[in-house]
Amino acid sequence: MVLARTKNSQPETNNQRMKKHFETEAIRNQTERTQFSEHSTPLYLTSSFIFEDAEEMRASFAEEKERNLYSRFTNPNTTEFVNKIVAMEGAQAGYAFATGMSAIFSTFAALLNAGDHVVSCRSVFGSTHSMFTKFLPKWNINTSYFKVDEVDLVEGLITENTKILYIETPTNPAVDILDLELLGKIAKKHNLIYIVDNCFATPYVQQPIKFGADLVIHSATKLIDGQGRVLGGVTVGSKELMREIYLFARNTGPAMSPFNAWVLSKSLETLAIRVEKHSKNAKKVAKFLEANENVELVKYPFLKSHPQYKVAKKQMKLGGNVVAFEIKGGIEAGIKFLDNIKMCSLSANLGDTRTIVTHPSSTTHGRLSEEDRLEVGITNGLVRISVGLENINDIIADIEQALES
């Protein structure tokens, strides 16, 4: 049954579209409608696509025709999700991965050759650190680290084999901030590929490409999903670099599932409004903690006391949803605080509607030595709060009673 289409039944195609505001891109950047004139994009749960004849199949595989062939390469749901992130980040192209880590690993594996060298900030997500120290060295790819407060040492770490400059900002879990623009200038001067993990900020808060990044990576598992349901990752950036990453991914298979892409594309429709509220709640939590006598230090990008407050203000639109604080009394106090929490969740994830509390020294980073933890800003009493969307009074009441108990 083919249904008649009304004049305005199709969303604008990419070629017709004028650049729109962030929220509009998130909602209106949509896959072409089917003959059923559905309003909301359906789920294309199909592993492959069919061809009219041998010639169409040949031309499609030869890339003379742009169309879906097989969902490891592209699928309407993953394409819609990627198109939105590309528009939000001001990129040219992108590819969606099964997880944030598969986006990070595939990006490095696609771009590096044996013997290449990476310069990275030491404060990176734990599995990214494992990739640098345990896995890339198998192919003779080594990484030199600088600490968050050692940006002046970066140029000294660059060798003739250095190909990539990599950072995360804000960092996980200590919420440190790196100067995107300054590092972008260094990368440009030395002809390095500048890659930024923008997971904590989201494209609503910060767009690293504006500051010189060549590629931006997200774990979509966090605020992009925002409701703790699915895993996902995405890399976006220039057409040339994304072509190499696409060819690597198309052949090695780390693709995002159409179902997850469908969920994540719907989530993007509310990203702006969610991040606004997350950031508002997080700032209130940060201010409450700053005034509490059981708390030694609070780290939140938009608190004036944050060591990189000025840089945060320059490159971020909001402070984001993560607050880190130092509880008086070290490891024991951190564990006790977690045990006293009643409403908030004890979980390793972040960026959920539900407020999540973690104590890195006794959990996620418990196997590191104290010295290694301190290198990345994880003091014994550091607590990370991923502030959710519950009523702020309930969030603060739970934190307050846990601090006081």
Least distance to ligand PLP, CB of residue 234, Å: 10
CB of 217 to ligand PLP, least distance (A): 7
Please report how close the Cβ of residue 198 comes to ligand PLP at its closest, in angstroms: 9
Peptide bond into 360 cis (omega under 30): no
Task: Tell me: does residue 197 bind ligand PLP (CB under 6 A).
Answer: yes
Site for ligand PLP in 128-187 (CB under 6 A): 168, 172
Candidates 99-107, 261-269, 303-311, 337-345: pick the segment binding ligand PLP (CB under 6 A): 99-107
Q: Does 231 bind ligand PLP (CB under 6 A)?
A: yes
Q: Which is nearer to ligand PLP, 94 or 100 (CB)?
A: 100
Using the rule CB under 6 A, give the single segment among 45-53, 98-106, 272-280, 377-385 that binds ligand PLP. 98-106
Distance CA 274, CA 346 (A): 21
Q: Using CA atoms of 343, 344, 346, 351 in order, give the dihedral in degrees to the nearest 10.
A: 150
97: part of which helix (H) or strand (E)? Answer: strand 93-97
Range in contact with ligand PLP (rule: CB under 6 A) among 2-10, 95-103, 157-165, 390-398: 95-103
On whether the CB atoms of residues 355 and 386 are closer than 8 A, the answer is yes
Pick 197 or 398: Cβ nearer ligand PLP: 197
12-20, 108-116, 196-204, 239-247 -> range binding ligand PLP (CB under 6 A): 196-204
Q: What's the rounded Cα separation, in Å, for the pair 334 and 328?
A: 8
Tokens linked to 1: 């049954």
Q: Is 221 in the site for ligand PLP (CB under 6 A)?
A: yes
Tell me which stretch binds ligand PLP (CB under 6 A): 157-165, 195-203, 282-290, 364-372: 195-203
CB of 56 to ligand PLP, least distance (A): 36
Asked if 219 interacts with ligand PLP (CB under 6 A), we say yes
Q: In what order do the strands lie in the sheet with 93-97?
A: 93-97, 233-237, 215-219, 193-197, 162-168, 117-121, 142-146
Smallest separation (angstroms) from ligand PLP to the CB of 90: 20
DSSP 204-239: HH--GGGGT-SEEEEETTTTTT-SS----EEEEE-H
Backbone φ and ψ for 266, nearest 5 degrees, come out as -65, -40
Q: Which of 44, 95, 125, 145 binds ligand PLP (CB under 6 A)?
A: 125
Pick the binder of ligand PLP from 101, 175, 295, 376 (CB under 6 A).
Answer: 101
Classify each residue of 331-363 as buried b or exposed e, where b means 16 or more C-beta atoms within 10 Å of its C-beta: bebbbebbeebebbeeeebbbbebbbbbbbbee
Structure tokens at 353: 């509607």
Whole-angstrom distance, CA of residue 132 vs CA of residue 397: 41
Residues forming contacts to ligand PLP in the complex (CB under 6 A) are 99-101, 125, 168, 172, 197, 199-200, 219, 221, 231, 233
